[in-house]
Amino acid sequence: MNRTSRRTFLKTSAVAAGGVLMARSASHARAAAADDAVVLKLSQFEYSEVQLLDGPALGQFNANHAFFLALDDDKLLKPFRQRAGLPAPGEDMGGWYSFSADFDPPKNMTGYVPGHTFGQYLSALARAYAVTGSKPTQEKVQRLVRGFAPTVTGKFYVDYPLPAYTFDKTNCGLIDAHQFAADPEALAVLNHATDAVLPFLPEKALTRAEQNARPHKNIAFTWDETYTLPENLYLAYKRGAGDRYRQLAARYLQDKDYFDPLADAGMFYPASTLIVT
């Protein structure tokens, strides 16, 4: 049996290790070159590409889908029809959703933001259609968009405390109706809805302190959330609604108050103070 001295073994090992390092170096160099040549993008799964198996999540999805599908169209559209001066049949949804003479914040919040969740219901139904392919769900989405279209008017936002908050949800619902339920009218309705709300939005995203400092009818008018607008405005632009949505999104970014201080190299924030919610 051949024997190898310790010196020969170490010498041979060093040569082999050097070869491995050189190979790794060459591999890294090729990878770096490939990275320079190819721009990798992240993409999300389509709703139709995700399947929930039997369990609580599927049960909750099915229950929510059935609930949203059963919501009465006239109830959902009533506050918009009322403000537009159109016939508004059906019962009130009640709570925050319906106009009420009893609204007296913060003592009585009934009638706080009429119609505020309409866009969320529309969005949920559009995404449910993308998951299930349910024709009644798609038909309801398109029926609601058609019903909403003639109600769009600036009158809706007169003396309305949270125009940005509600429009953000309307925007989301309409772009989801377009994207996930193939609604042919959704983007045109969105453009009309944007024209209607713009006169009631501030020139930029406002902090609560800035809203408090401006004249306001009651305390509820200091609670709007203009900083939420950019995400869905950028999505509207990405989904083909037009370049003005990209410009509006940039206009309502609130980096100065939220992110610029974190990016300031001269400021130090201990890790324990950075809380993500």
Angle at 201 between CA 200 and CA 203, to 5 degrees: 130
Higher local confidence (pLDDT), 21 or 59: 59
Whether residue 169 contacts residue 120, with contact meaning beta carbons closer than 8 Å, is answered with yes
From the CB of residue 11, how many other CB atoms can be counted at a distance below 10 Å? 11
Whether residue 194 contacts residue 122, with contact meaning beta carbons closer than 8 Å, is answered with no
Instruction: Enumerate residues 6+ apart whose C-beta is below 8 A from 230.
Output: 249, 250, 252, 253
Q: Strand runs (DSSP E) across 130-169, as ranges?
A: none
- Residue 1 pLDDT > 80, yes or no? no
Whether residue 171 contacts residue 193, with contact meaning beta carbons closer than 8 Å, is answered with yes
- Residue 192 pLDDT > 70, yes or no? yes
pLDDT per residue as tens digits for the range 31-76 = 555 555 667 678 888 998 989 999 999 999 999 999 999 999 999 9
Angle at 115 between CA 112 and CA 119, to 5 degrees: 130
- pLDDT averaged over the chain? 87
- Residue 9 pLDDT > 80, yes or no? no
pLDDT at 165: 97
Max intra-chain CA distance, the chain? 102
pLDDT per residue as tens digits for the range 94-126 = 999 999 999 999 999 999 999 999 999 999 999
Residue 263: pLDDT band by 50, 70, 90 thresholds?
A: confident
Distance CA 40, CA 33 (A): 13
- β-partners of residue 108 are 104
Distance CA 63, CA 138 (A): 17
Smallest Cα–Cα separation from 180: which of 257, 128, 126?
126
Question: What percent of the chain is modeled with pLDDT above 70?
Answer: 81
Higher local confidence (pLDDT), 262 or 171: 171
Distance CA 7, CA 95 (A): 86
pLDDT at 44: 82
Residue 157, judged by CB atoms within 10 A of its CB (0-12, 13-18, 19+), counts as: buried
pLDDT, average across residues 173-180: 98
pLDDT, average across residues 212-228: 95
pLDDT at 276: 44
- Residue 25 pLDDT > 80, yes or no? no
- Residue 17 pLDDT > 50, yes or no? no
Length of the chain: 277
pLDDT at 266: 53
